[in-house]
Amino acid sequence: MPKSIHSYRSIDDYDDDYAAEQRERDDTFSSTTPSSPTATFRPLRQLHSSVNDLSQSRESINERSSLLGVSHGGPQAYRSLPATTPGTPRPGMKRHNSQLPTSLRMRSSRRGSLTGNQNFSQRLVNALGEGGAGLEQSMQSAKASLFQDNRVWYDQFTSTDWVHDNIADAYRVKALRSRKDLRGRIEAWFDGAQGWILVALIGVLTAVCAYFVNTTETTLFDLKQGYCTRGWKKSRKTCCDGASMCDAWVHWSAAVRSDRLSVVQTQYGFFVLSVVVLSMASCLLTLTTKTVIPSAISLATLDENLGADVRRNSDPDDDDDSKRSISPESRFQQAQARPPMVYYSAAGSGVAEVKVILSGFVLHGYLGVRTLLIKTLALILSVASGLSLGKEGPYVHIATCIGNVACRIFSKYSDNDGKRREILSASAASGVAVAFGAPIGGVLFSLEEVSYYFPSKTLFRTFFCCIAAALSLKFLDPYGTKKIVLFEVRYHLDWKFFELATFIFTGVVGGVLGALFIKASRIWARTFRRITIIKKYPLLEVFLVALVTGLISFWNRYTKLPVTELLFELASPCDTYSDSGDGLCPTAEHIPSVLWVLFIAFVIKASLTVVTFGIKVPAGIYVPSMVVGGLAGRFIGHTVQLLALRFSHLGIFGECVPEGPPGSCVVPGVYALVAAGATMTGVTRLTITLAVILFELTGSLDHVLPFSLGILVAKWVADAIEPLSIYDLLTDMNSYPFLDNKVRPIFTSELGDITPSKRQDHIIDISEDALIPAVELRDKQRGLQMLGELDGGLSIIKHGVLVGLIPAPDLEFALDKLDNEDNTLCLMSPQVDWAAGREPQGDEEEASYDPSDFTPYIDPAPVALDVHSPMDLVYECFVKLGLRYICVLRDGKYAGLVHKKTFVKYVKELELHEKKTRTN
């Protein structure tokens, strides 16, 4: 016989205060879970068959643990579904309910926002580890408490429901502030202070990490040329107290002391060997973060590779025979046979992935402790190698990792995806603040580029985080100059009126270079990197790029220098002028020879930047793109300087005196910075952020207008040549499910055009009875998983009318809590007081929880639109409201459901169609 439904009453009918508190806690906490799980799992009962494959290794699960039964060959294969039948590990653990609770379930609780029995110090210790023994012991010691068990996993590419997260946090705050005594006020105050404590801690830790990277990579970079006799840990600048050369610094050619080898040959050999060894060491570290995502995970809503044929061969249609002929298991097996998606969480800059995460999607383990440590160490090696890459972009990823780990200290942020992403926005900004020494630029970067949801409260906290990072970096003094900026230049000569035209021209050149770099990167990725051996062995590509870089860069001073020092030299004004023609401060007679040297350096640096971007090492594009633009800008500046001196008799150059020093009329360093900013704009499409960063680097109010003018023109030109920024290119090439909130496509369809047909296995019909067998619910939930809709949902229908919706993760969690699925009926009514008038039976009043009551998991008011709703309205709902899915109605009756990833795929296909139309 089915299990008797003995208690379906509202919370007001319970006399037990503890039961009320327990039910309230179920209702007031969010069900969202962190993207980088750290806690270990313990089974509370016999697991279902769908999770038996995972139960044996549950004690060692951490943020990089495999969660899928079938390995795809990588050392860190991400897994979300077992080999036999799909399912994810769900022991009977605490559920942080994100659905809309009703007022009938709200009771004042004396427990406030406390989570379990852990105090703050315990949470701090556990947050800094990968799950650790401490958390396991605390969970084992509280077996009797259902609330001690936290569900801390999250599936790949699942999406955040911002609306439910905000509602859940509102009820949490309401429950917290229901206490009016002193303890309640203190807890409420501490709850409000948690955000400020977090951002301050994140700012300090980001500055410490930046200090470690800066000081370490400088020493390793200089070791390619020699060592310091006063201590091998000292860089050349520290060893020589700022002088260019000194006796304490010994070159490798002098250390070898071989008469058979010339000084140049010895230095050249050590330089090339150092570049190759450091680059390959960085790559080997990066390859340890390999993650394999089987195509079966999200094929129903997203194509992992837009360039491959991954269309389902047998999609279900309205024909019942077709539905019966292809079972969900068969579709799952077909999807598994397709090539998986592979990515390395420590490779590249990480800014594109941070954008995807902040937009509401989950990249498993991308912001964890493992990625943080490996990327920091690999970044030191890659920058020290001398490759044409920068460390400023990876600072954004590293800072975001620090923010994600720090969020684990407070359950307010660790259990709520929406709240945590507010902290991650501030973290990303602190990365830019320490990279350029520009706290205001960091705030604008987060606002303009990476953040998807940026309320005014987050703006102020972001500013506070950047200031904390900048002050900490000022105290640490990584550059030994008592400055926090990457480099500092001062222009004492104001620009002339005739230079406005040349500044505009420089902006055009920067925009063209940025757009061409994106096109060249796409061509290189689709040709050279698709060679079988290169694609199979990323270390080989790194070896080839490092070898070419070492062989070519040694002979040109401007390609041999570190990118930051080179950019500083290009942007610096001239105080003294050399008659020999060496350096960037020549007299008028030697300007042509300097132009030739700059042109050679520009060609080499631009080519190396194209082939280096995208290799499997931590690599940023900010400063390399600025260096390429700076070389072009310095070339333009010297050209304008030469023209002004030779044609000073013309009225337009009337202020230039040929007898004076060349820098008295035109300052080429200004052109270098204008072109550097313009090129970076062409690559990243940043505008206001870059103008402020350049201003913070120079501190010159007089040159804000040239900087802004060049950036403005570059943005227009780059958009005309290449609509995508480098981050958009990476998002498209990796097929990340990112819905751009800055560029709206031109829609010509309605919501009904993308709504899949209503299927019986995707709905729960309670027209006849609200008691549904658990076996039937399990079949529907497994069907969703086999289709890759891990974070989808089942609509609840009554006489054709939509009356509620239960998310798939919550349904699976509720089913896993049942003792006997085969003989259990589950209440699926969205009415909280549906059974409030039933008579009590037996010891009912002693029972505070009935696992067969699924009412708390149901969203009784899902957002629904009519099939004739314009697609622009759908776009606004997904972007502005942050919905996970939208229910579709036809004449008031339920017609289907559209998931956010389905809409993202539709937008991508629409953009691809528009590109093909323009091309033809």
- The CA-based angle 910-915-918, given to 5 degrees, is 125
Summarised one tens digit per residue, pLDDT across range 408-430 is 999 889 888 888 989 999 999 99
Cα–Cα distance measured from residue 8 to residue 27, given in angstroms and rounded to the nearest whole number = 16
Q: Which of 47-56, 122-131, 686-695 has the lowest mean pLDDT?
A: 47-56
Instruction: Please enumerate in sequence order all residues whose Cβ is within 8 A of that of 607, keeping only pairs 6 or more positions apart, or say none.
Output: none
Residue with tokens 């104001």: 494
78: closest CA among 394, 278, 340, 464? Answer: 340
The encoded tokens of residue 312 equal: 């389902």
Same fold, 138-238+262-305+333-486 and 503-538+588-725: yes
Query: Where residue 887 falls among pLDDT bands split at 50, 70, 90?
Result: very high
In DSSP terms, which residues pair with 773 in a beta bridge? Answer: 825
CATH for 138-238+262-305+333-486, options being 1.10.240.10, 1.10.3080.10, 3.30.565.10, 3.90.1580.10: 1.10.3080.10
Identify the band that residue 156 occupies on the pLDDT scale cut at 50, 70 and 90: low
Alpha-carbon gap, residue 639 to 652, rounded angstroms: 16
pLDDT computed for residue 157 by the predictor: 67
pLDDT of residue 240: 81
Give 530-556 pLDDT, tens digit per residue.
Answer: 888 988 889 999 999 999 999 998 888
Mean pLDDT for the stretch of residues 215-223: 87
Q: Maximum Cα–Cα distance for the chain, whole Å?
A: 107
Sign of dihedral through CA atoms 358, 364, 368, 372?
A: negative
CATH superfamily placement of domain 751-832+851-919: CBS-domain (3.10.580.10)
pLDDT bracket for residue 327 (50, 70, 90):
low
Q: Where is average pLDDT lowest: 237-251, 534-548, 785-799, 874-888?
A: 237-251
Q: What CATH number has the domain spanning 503-538+588-725?
A: 1.10.3080.10
| Confidence band, pLDDT 50/70/90 cuts, at residue 169 | confident
617-644 average pLDDT score = 91
Q: What average pLDDT does range 720-739 have in this prediction?
A: 86
Mean pLDDT of the chain: 75
369-385 vs 182-222: helix axis angle to the nearest 10? Answer: 30
CA distance 561 to 631: 13
DSSP conformational letter for 771 = E
Which amino acid, residue 290? Answer: K
CA of 166: how far to CAs of 25, 147, 202, in Å? 16, 22, 23
Average pLDDT of the residues in 898-919: 84
Q: Which residues, 6 or more positions from 569, have their beta carbon under 8 angstroms from its beta carbon?
A: 558, 561, 584
Contact present, 239 and 230 (Cβ < 8 Å): yes
Neighbours of 73 (CB within 10 A): 9
Which two structure tokens, joined as six digits, stand for 459? 């703006």
In sequence order, which ranges of 586-700 are alpha helices (DSSP H)? 591-612, 622-646, 668-684, 688-698
Q: Decide: helix, strand or coil at residue 111.
A: coil
**Gap between the Cα atoms of 766 and 755, Å rounded:** 23
Distances (CA, A) of 350 to 487, 496, 588, 688: 24, 41, 45, 21
Cβ–Cβ < 8 Å for 462, 426: yes
CA dihedral 248, 251, 252, 256 (to 10 degrees): -70
Give residue 854's region: left, alpha or beta (phi > 0; psi -120 to 50): alpha
684 vs 81 pLDDT, higher one: 684
Does the pLDDT at position 519 exceed 70?
Answer: yes
Residue 13: which of 852, 840, 828, 830 has the closest Cα? 840
Please give the C-alpha separations between residue 493 and each of 654, 664, 669, 702, 911, in angstroms, as whole numbers: 16, 8, 11, 9, 48
pLDDT level of residue 600 (50, 70, 90 thresholds): very high
DSSP helix/strand/coil, 292:
strand
User: Which residues are paired to 586 by β-bridges?
Assistant: 578
Segment holding 808, helix H or strand E:
helix 808-816
Give yes or no for a contact between 551 and 716, defined as CB atoms under 8 angstroms apart.
Answer: no
**Alpha helices (H) in 227-262, listed in sequence order:** 236-239, 252-256
Q: What is the pLDDT of residue 3?
A: 42
How many Å apart are CA 395 and CA 478, to the nearest integer? 15
Q: Is the pLDDT of residue 296 over 90?
A: no
Find the mean pLDDT for residues 650-675.
75
Residue pair 399/434 in contact by the 8 Å Cβ criterion: yes
In this predicted structure, which of 129-138, 302-311, 663-672, 680-689 has the lowest mean pLDDT?
302-311
Contact 315, 266 (CB under 8 A): no
* DSSP assignment of 634-653: HHHHHHHHHHHHHTTTSGGG
Q: Mapping DSSP to helix (H, G, I), strand (E, B) and coil, where does residue 794 land?
A: strand
The 10s digit of each residue's pLDDT in 12-23 is 343 444 444 444
| Domain map (residue ranges) of the chain | 138-238+262-305+333-486, 503-538+588-725, 751-832+851-919
- Of the candidates 240, 193, 145, which has an alpha carbon nearest to the alpha carbon of residue 412? 193
Q: 105 is written with which tokens?
A: 């379930």
Please say whether the beta carbons of 787 and 81 come within 8 A.
no
pLDDT at 726 exceeding the cut of 70: yes
* Residue 396 CB neighbours (<10 A): 30
Give the span between the Cα atoms of 669 and 646, in whole angstroms: 20
Q: What does the pLDDT read at residue 312?
A: 36
Q: Is the pLDDT of residue 400 over 90?
A: yes
Q: Which residue from 638, 515, 628, 632 is spatially nearest to 584, judged by alpha carbons?
A: 638
- The amino acid at residue 896 is G
pLDDT band at 9 (very low <50, low <70, confident <90, very high): very low
Band of the pLDDT at 81, cuts 50, 70, 90? Answer: very low
Task: Give residue-wise pLDDT tens across range 29-52.
Answer: 333 333 333 333 333 333 333 333
Q: Phi, psi (5° rounding) for residue 735?
A: 55, 45
Check residues 274 and 40 and name the one with the higher pLDDT. 274
The mean pLDDT of 238-253, rounded to a whole number, is 77
β-strand 864-866 against 885-890: which pairing, if any?
parallel
